[in-house]
Chain A
């Protein structure tokens, strides 16, 4: 286990009253060398989870453990500075995440220089990284972010993230803003880099096809909670949570002779402000019963390494589709 999230919680107060339950007691682990995909719709907490892992925002409760050590300022904990040299992030907005006044090679060299690498060596390494991500260093090193296309800028961001030789890279909708033909190029690059450098990825996206393609395991989030987590083939092939099923059948058909006949869910995802007790999906779930209003479903076994938070899969939960007795 290279990374572990233990009961992470982040709530935000909203002006005018109420609390956004962005992430609510979320626990999971990531194995070295794997890609964990995180999917869900807006407000599900996937990006907040990424920011909590990086400590870009402080959790209200819970902890992040990197290589077995808690990240933070407590005694014996791994200092943030050290954690961030091992864990880096690439964001969706390729423009906002680069300093517009720095050339590409200066942006890439910036992190290592802050961490004490001499400037000449940092620049030299930045050039070799540019080369590695498919941008000719002589042509692109001295250019500024606004002189690049979106795909080229995202390559620079990937090079920047790799400059500190991290073990883990968090990709938060990193290819979502790119055109399909460019997205494919960047995904190919990410897979090459992963096997070459032995990286571990956390791959966050709203695109279920891309997540399936990239991930070894997948975590599905809904309104700040984990709905389902497991090996990619189980999540897509033996889907256990009604929300995951709805997400999968909401994907537009790629075959015009087999068009979608009816939408799997009605309405919009509810607001994450002060969610009602019980299962958070029950307001849109076709299987909701009285039990779902009272019990917040815990993550329980749904298969090998596959866990789901649904009362229908929890023996003795009181849901009519659940087995009557535990054990």
Chain B
């Protein structure tokens, strides 16, 4: 029997309040050392899925299904256990580094605090580890930066410092929620390449959530495309880019503006994503889909595995 993957999510659902169905049955496997790009637009449930994995959703979110990471049942963890899990086994980096840092403590103190908590070492050793991490993410004058406050750093440097904080205790899984979206183009590519390098070097698994197909192409081994709280297509990044099988994936790829298409109309997907409080009973993409047919409304299509490990949820593939 093959070993259990590092991450194993089954039928995950997240409902906010009584009616906002943000995640509606997500299945997801991730092997050790693998990088999964989760691609989706706003409201697709990609960030909520990521936050569910770290169990940092607000109390009013009701979760269903199961999440197993590193052989442990995440949804069943008690408070003390979850604190060991966060930062020790799984870490997260955000679009806005100020979410990860407390503005009144120095960068060095915050990284050291996390190392003391998870590794049980003394202050001096923890500070040495913090310095090592800042050097690792290539912050110039790292020793001096240990005593800097978050607001004293530029956007790109803060992002590097946040990566140092996230990786300081050697997590097996890094969750990245649009970490380069707010950065300037010339800084974004530096951070993407740094993450790619650190991932290879440390051999950790990464789930990288983004709305940007180009970003996913730069970092991911596999891509999962989300729409209205479900993964509609998964596959190797090259396969999905070359031959998208779900109509939403192909619509998304063809609506990306490429400069060389000048003078031609962009093939946009008509309409807008569904209201998560009023999801249609069948396929949630059916109202915008050019291949829609009557049986699309009967229920959400089951996942079907195709050649090369591609998984698609569409009646066209059944």
Interface residues of A (CB under 8 A from B): 41-42, 149-152, 179-185, 187-188, 191, 206-213, 232, 236, 246-247, 250-257, 259-260, 262-269
Residue B217, interface by CB 8 Å: yes
Task: Using CB atoms, name the residue of chain B closest to A39.
Answer: B185
The answer to whether B262 touches A213, judged by C-beta atoms less than 8 angstroms apart, is yes
The complex places the Cα of A231 from the Cα of B190 at a distance, in Å, of 29
The answer to whether A264 touches B257, judged by C-beta atoms less than 8 angstroms apart, is no
The complex places the Cα of A236 from the Cα of B260 at a distance, in Å, of 10
The complex places the Cα of A149 from the Cα of B41 at a distance, in Å, of 13
The complex places the Cα of A253 from the Cα of B213 at a distance, in Å, of 9
The complex places the Cα of A250 from the Cα of B163 at a distance, in Å, of 21
The answer to whether A213 touches B268, judged by C-beta atoms less than 8 angstroms apart, is no
**A187-B257, A209-B258 known; A251 and B185 CB under 8 Å?**
yes
The answer to whether A152 touches B272, judged by C-beta atoms less than 8 angstroms apart, is yes
The answer to whether B217 touches A259, judged by C-beta atoms less than 8 angstroms apart, is yes
Q: How large is the interface on B (under 10, 10 to 19, 20 to 34, 35 or more residues)?
A: 35 or more
How distant is A272 from chain B, measured CB to nearest CB, in Å?
Answer: 13
List residues of chain B with CB within 8 A of the CB of A267.
156
The complex places the Cα of A210 from the Cα of B266 at a distance, in Å, of 11
The answer to whether A268 touches B184, judged by C-beta atoms less than 8 angstroms apart, is yes
The answer to whether B193 touches A268, judged by C-beta atoms less than 8 angstroms apart, is no
19 A-B pairs (CB sep. < 8 Å)? A180-B211, A181-B251, A181-B269, A182-B41, A183-B257, A184-B256, A188-B268, A209-B258, A210-B257, A232-B262, A236-B259, A250-B186, A252-B192, A254-B217, A257-B238, A263-B193, A264-B189, A266-B190, A269-B184
List residues of chain A with CB within 8 A of the CB of B267.
184
CB < 8 Å neighbour of A254 from B187, B220, B241, B265: B241
The complex places the Cα of A254 from the Cα of B272 at a distance, in Å, of 24
List residues of chain B with CB within 8 A of the CB of A42.
184
Task: Using CB atoms, name the residue of chain A closest to B213.
Answer: A254
The answer to whether A268 touches B156, judged by C-beta atoms less than 8 angstroms apart, is yes
CB < 8 Å neighbour of B259 from A184, A191, A209: A209
* Contact bitstring B173-203, A, C-beta under 8 A = 1, else 0: 0000000000011111110110000000000
The answer to whether B259 touches A264, judged by C-beta atoms less than 8 angstroms apart, is no
CB < 8 Å neighbour of B272 from A180, A182, A252, A253: A182
Task: Using CB atoms, name the residue of chain A closest to B210.
Answer: A252
Task: Using CB atoms, name the residue of chain B closest to A185.
Answer: B268
List residues of chain A with CB within 8 A of the CB of B189.
250-252, 260, 263-264
The answer to whether B185 touches A250, judged by C-beta atoms less than 8 angstroms apart, is yes
Q: Which 9 A-B pairs have the closest CB atoms?
A: A212-B259, A252-B214, A184-B268, A184-B255, A179-B41, A41-B184, A268-B154, A184-B266, A181-B269
Task: Using CB atoms, name the residue of chain B closest to A211.
Answer: B259
Q: Is the interface of B mostly helix, strand, loop or mixed?
A: helix
The answer to whether A268 touches B157, judged by C-beta atoms less than 8 angstroms apart, is yes
The answer to whether B214 touches A254, judged by C-beta atoms less than 8 angstroms apart, is yes
The complex places the Cα of A252 from the Cα of B218 at a distance, in Å, of 6
Task: Determine which residue in B237, B265, B272 has the highest number of CB atoms from chain A within 10 A of its CB, and name it.
Answer: B272
**A213-B259, A250-B188, A260-B193 known; A181 and B252 CB under 8 Å?**
yes
How distant is A213 from chain B, measured CB to nearest CB, in Å?
Answer: 5
The answer to whether B41 touches A252, judged by C-beta atoms less than 8 angstroms apart, is no
How distant is B144 from chain A, measured CB to nearest CB, in Å?
Answer: 16
List residues of chain B with CB within 8 A of the CB of A262.
193
Residue B58, interface by CB 8 Å: no
Contacting A at CB under 8 A, from B192-248, are: 192-193, 211-215, 217-218, 220, 237-238, 241
The complex places the Cα of A173 from the Cα of B188 at a distance, in Å, of 18
How distant is B209 from chain A, measured CB to nearest CB, in Å?
Answer: 14
**A208-B259, A267-B156 known; A259 and B218 CB under 8 Å?**
yes
How distant is A106 from chain B, measured CB to nearest CB, in Å?
Answer: 23
Task: Determine which residue in B184, B186, B268 has the highest number of CB atoms from chain A within 10 A of its CB, and name it.
Answer: B186
The answer to whether B252 touches A180, judged by C-beta atoms less than 8 angstroms apart, is yes
**A252-B218, A253-B218, A256-B241 known; A269 and B270 CB under 8 Å?**
no
The answer to whether B218 touches A247, judged by C-beta atoms less than 8 angstroms apart, is no
5 further interface pairs, Cβ-Cβ under 8 Å (given A210-B257, A254-B217): A181-B251, A206-B184, A250-B189, A255-B241, A268-B184
The answer to whether A263 touches B218, judged by C-beta atoms less than 8 angstroms apart, is no
Task: Using CB atoms, name the residue of chain A closest to B272.
Answer: A149
The answer to whether A181 touches B41, judged by C-beta atoms less than 8 angstroms apart, is yes
List residues of chain A with CB within 8 A of the CB of B251.
181
The answer to whether A269 touches B272, judged by C-beta atoms less than 8 angstroms apart, is no
List residues of chain A with CB within 8 A of the CB of B187.
268-269
List residues of chain A with CB within 8 A of the CB of B273.
179
Task: Determine which residue in A151, A208, A211, A267 has the highest number of CB atoms from chain B within 10 A of its CB, and name it.
Answer: A267
**A181-B252, A209-B259, A252-B218 known; A263 and B270 CB under 8 Å?**
no
The complex places the Cα of A254 from the Cα of B268 at a distance, in Å, of 18
How distant is A248 from chain B, measured CB to nearest CB, in Å?
Answer: 9
The answer to whether B155 touches A268, judged by C-beta atoms less than 8 angstroms apart, is yes
How distant is B186 from chain A, measured CB to nearest CB, in Å?
Answer: 5
The complex places the Cα of A101 from the Cα of B259 at a distance, in Å, of 39
The complex places the Cα of A68 from the Cα of B281 at a distance, in Å, of 60
The answer to whether A251 touches B190, judged by C-beta atoms less than 8 angstroms apart, is no
List residues of chain A with CB within 8 A of the CB of B185.
41, 206, 208, 247, 250-251
The answer to whether A185 touches B270, judged by C-beta atoms less than 8 angstroms apart, is yes
List residues of chain A with CB within 8 A of the CB of B241.
254-256
CB < 8 Å neighbour of A265 from B157, B186, B213: B186
How distant is A37 from chain B, measured CB to nearest CB, in Å?
Answer: 10
The complex places the Cα of A250 from the Cα of B187 at a distance, in Å, of 8
**A181-B251, A187-B266 known; A251 and B214 CB under 8 Å?**
yes
The complex places the Cα of A251 from the Cα of B188 at a distance, in Å, of 9
The complex places the Cα of A280 from the Cα of B213 at a distance, in Å, of 32
Contacting A at CB under 8 A, from B263-318, are: 265-270, 272-273
